[in-house]
Amino acid sequence: MAWTKYQLFLAGLMLTTGSINTLSAKWADMFSAKGCHGDAEHSFSHPFVQAVGMFLGEFSCLAVFYILLCHDRRSPEPRMNPGQSFNPLLFFPPAMCDMTATSIMYVALNMTSASSFQMLRGAVIIFTGLLSVAFLGRRLQPSQWLGIFITILGLVVVGLADLVSGHKDDSHKLSDVITGDLLIIMAQIIVSVQMVLEEKFVYKHDVHPLRAVGTEGLFGFVVLSLLLIPMYFIYVGNFSNNPRQVLEDALDAFCQIGHKPLILLALLGNTVSIAFFNFAGISVTKEISATTRMVLDSLRTLVIWVVSLALGWEQFHGLQVLGFLVLLTGTALYNGLHRPLLAKIPWCAARMNLEEDSSEAERERLLNDGRVQAGEDT
Write the CA distances from 352 to 56, 102, 252, 349, 374, integer angstroms.
Answer: 43, 37, 57, 5, 33
Summarize pLDDT for 133-186 with one digit per residue, the tens: 888 888 888 888 999 999 999 999 988 888 877 655 556 677 888 888 899 999
| pLDDT: which is higher, 244 or 378 | 244
Strand partners, 33: 42
> How sure is the predictor about 376, in pLDDT bands with cuts at 50, 70 and 90?
very low
**Structural contact between residues 84 and 29, judged by C-beta atoms closer than 8 angstroms:** no
Give the count of beta carbons closer than 10 Å to the beta carbon of residue 145. Answer: 14
Q: Cα–chain-centroid distance for residue 320? A: 20
Summarize pLDDT for 103-130 with one digit per residue, the tens: 999 999 988 888 889 888 888 888 988 9
Q: Would you kindly state where each structural domain of the chain is located, as residue ranges? A: 5-74+86-339
Write the CA distances from 248 to 38, 79, 197, 255, 267, integer angstroms.
Answer: 18, 45, 29, 13, 16
HEC profile of 25-91: HHHHHCCEECCCCCCCCEECCCHHHHHHHHHHHHHHHHHHHHHHHHHHHHCCCCCCCCECCCCHHHH
Can you tell me whether residue 246 is helix, strand or coil?
A: strand
User: How buried is residue 318: exposed, middle or buried, by Cβ count under 10 Å (0-12/13-18/19+)?
Assistant: exposed
Determine if the pTM surpasses 0.95.
no
Cα gap 230→115, rounded to integer Å:
32
Backbone angles phi, psi at 316, to 5 degrees: -75, 135
> How sure is the predictor about 375, in pLDDT bands with cuts at 50, 70 and 90?
very low
Which of the residue ranges 132-146, 164-178, 211-225, 349-363 would you say has the lowest mean pLDDT? 349-363
Write the CA distances from 23 to 39, 74, 276, 306, 313, integer angstroms.
Answer: 27, 39, 15, 11, 10
pLDDT at 351: 56
Q: In what helix (H) or strand (E) does residue 233 lie, and over which residues does it extend?
A: none
Cα gap 20→117, rounded to integer Å:
14
Can you tell me whether residue 241 is helix, strand or coil?
A: coil
pLDDT at 166: 61
Handedness of CA 190, 192, 198, 200 (dihedral sign): negative
Cα gap 320→328, rounded to integer Å:
12
In the chain the first and final C-alpha atoms are separated, in Å, by 49
Share of the chain above pLDDT 90, in %: 35
Strand partners, 82: none
Q: Is the pLDDT of residue 363 over 80?
A: no
